[in-house]
Structure 1
Amino acid sequence: MGKALIIGAGGVAGVVVHKCCQVPDVFEEICIASRTVSKCDALKEKLDGGRTKIQTAQVDADNVEELVELINRFQPDIVINVALPYQDLTIMDACLATGVDYVDTANYEPLDEAKFEYSWQWAYREKFEKAGITALLGSGFDPGVTGVFSAHAQKHHFDEIHTIDIVDANAGDHGYPFATNFNPEINIREITANGSYFENGEFIETPPLSIKRVYDLPEIGPKDVYLLHHEELESLALNIKGIKKIRFWMTFSENYLNHLKVLENVGMTAIEPIIFEGKEIVPLQFLKAILPDPSSLGPRTIGKTNIGCIFQGIKDGKEKTYYVYNVCDHQECYAEVGSQAISYTTGVPAMIGAMLVMTGKWKNPGVHNIEEFNPDPFMDALNKYGLPWQESFDPKLID
Structure 2
Amino acid sequence: MKKVMIIGAGGVGQVVAHKCAQLPQVFSEIVLASRTESKCIAIAKQIKETQNRDISTAQVDADNVPELVALLNIEKPFMVINVALPYQDLTIMDACLEAGVHYMDTANYEPLDTAKFEYHWQWAYQEKFEKAGLMALLGSGFDPGATNMFTAYAAKHYFDEIHYLDIVDVNGGDHGYPFATNFNPEINIREVTAECRHWENGEFVETPAMSTKQAFTCPDGVGDFNIYRMYHEELESLTKNYPTLKRAQFWMSFGESYLKHLEVLQNVGMTGIEPIDFNGQQIVPIQLLKALLPDPSTLGPRTHGKTCIGCVVRGIKDGKEKTVYVYNIKDHQDCYKEVQSQAISYTTGVPAMIGAKLMIEGTWKGAGVFNIEQMDPDPFMENMNKHGLPFQVIEEPGFDLI
Q: TM-score, normalised by structure 1?
A: 0.99
Superposition deviation, residue 394 in structure 1: 2.8
Tell me the equivalent position of 1:261: 263
Q: Distance in 2 between matches of 1:200 and 1:267?
A: 36
User: 2:223 & 2:80 partners in 1: Cα distance?
Assistant: 39
Partner of 2:303: 301
Question: What is the CA–CA distance in structure 2 between the aligned matches of 1:43 and 1:193, rounded to whole Å?
Answer: 33
**Counterparts of 1:208 and 1:180 in 2: how far apart (Å)?**
18
3-state SS in 2 of match to 1:247:
strand
| Counterpart residue number, 2:145 | 144
Matches within 5 A, 1:231-242: 231-242=233-244
Moved over 2 A (4+): 48-53
CA distance in 1, matches of 2:166, 2:223: 17
Report the equivalent of 2:206.
205
Change (3 A) 1:111 1:301: same
**Distance (whole Å) between structure 1 residues aligned to residue 308 and residue 81 of structure 2:** 25
| Structure 1 segment 157-306 matched on structure 2, within 5 A | 157-218=158-219, 219-306=221-308
Report the Cα distance in structure 2 between the residues aligned to 1:314 and 1:269, rounded to whole angstroms.
43
Tell me the distance in 2 between the aligned counterparts of 1:176 and 1:93.
39
**How far apart are 1:142 and its partner, in Å?**
0.2
Q: 1:344 aligns with which of 343, 346, 360?
A: 346
Distance 2:244 2:278 in 1: 52
**Cα distance in structure 1, aligned partners of 2:197 and 2:215:** 18
Residue 91 of structure 1 corresponds to 92
**2:43: which partner in 1?**
43
TM-score (norm 2): 0.98
Partner of 2:19: 19
The 2-side partners of 1:398 and 1:233 are apart by 20
CA 1:21–1:317 in 2, change beyond 3 Å: closer, same or farther?
same
Correspondent of 1:394 among 390, 393, 396: 396
1:375 pairs, out of 377, 382, 385, with 377
User: Partner amino acid for 2:71?
Assistant: L
State the one-letter code of the partner of 1:134: M
Distance 2:371 2:180 in 1: 30
Pair 1:331 & 2:328 matched:
no
Contact 1:154 1:240 in 2 (8 A): no
- Cα contact 1:4–1:31 (8 A) shared by 2: yes
Identity of aligned residues (%): 66
Native 8 Å contact 2:218 2:224 kept in 1: yes
Q: Residue in 2 aligned with 1:125?
A: 126
Could you tell me which amino acid in structure 1 is paired with residue 29 of structure 2?
E
Indicate the SS of the match to 2:187.
helix
Structure 2: where are the runs of 5+ without partners? none
Deviation at 1:398, TM superposition (A): 2.4
Q: SS at the partner of 1:196?
A: strand
TM-fit CA distance, 1:53: 4.4
Give 1:242 shift.
1.2
- How big is the shift at 1:278? 1.1
The amino acid of 2:16's aligned partner reads V
Contact conserved, 1:196 with 1:204, CA < 8 A, in 2? yes
Amino acid in structure 2 at the alignment position of 1:348: V
Contact 1:28 1:53 (C-alpha < 8 Å) held by counterparts: no
Cα offset for 1:59?
Answer: 0.1
> 1:366: which partner in 2?
368
Q: Is the 8 A contact 2:6 2:30 kept in 1?
A: yes
Residues 198-251 of structure 1 show CA distances to partners (whole Å, capped at 9, x for unaligned) of: 011100001010000111111312110000000000000011241111000000
The question of whether the paired residues in 2 share the 8 Å contact of 1:21 and 1:51 is answered with no
Q: Is the 2:4–2:31 Cα contact (8 Å) retained in structure 1?
A: yes
Aligned 8 A contact 1:174 1:300 in 2:
yes
CA distance in 1, matches of 2:208, 2:315: 28
Say yes or no: does 1:155 pair with 2:156.
Answer: yes
Distance 2:370 2:15 in 1: 23
Q: Does structure 2 retain, via aligned residues, the 8 Å contact 1:200–1:244?
A: yes
CA distance in 2 between counterparts of 1:194 and 1:220 reads 29
Hey, what's the Cα distance between the residues in 1 that align with 2:97 and 2:70?
13
Match of 2:111 in 1: 110
1:24-48 deviation per Cα after TM superposition (whole angstroms, max 9, x unaligned): 1010101000000000011111113
Equivalenced residue count is 399
Give the partner amino acid of 2:30: I
Q: Given that residues 200 and 247 in structure 2 are in contact (C-alpha distance below 8 angstroms), is that contact kept between their aligned partners in structure 1? A: yes
In structure 1, give the amino acid aligned to 2:245.
I
1:319 maps to 321
The CA RMSD measured in Å over matched residues stands at: 0.9
Q: CA deviation at 1:387?
A: 0.2
Letter in 1 for 2:61: D
**Deviation string for 1:304-325 (max 9, x for gaps)?**
0000000000001111010000
Shift in Å, 1:184:
0.3
Give the whole-Å Cα distance in 1 for the aligned partners of 2:97 and 2:351: 23
State the Cα deviation string for residues 126-158 of structure 1 (Å, max 9, x = none). 100000000000000000001111111111110
Residue 31 of structure 1 corresponds to 31
Counterpart of 2:105 in structure 1: which amino acid?
D
Q: Alpha-carbon deviation of 1:375?
A: 0.4
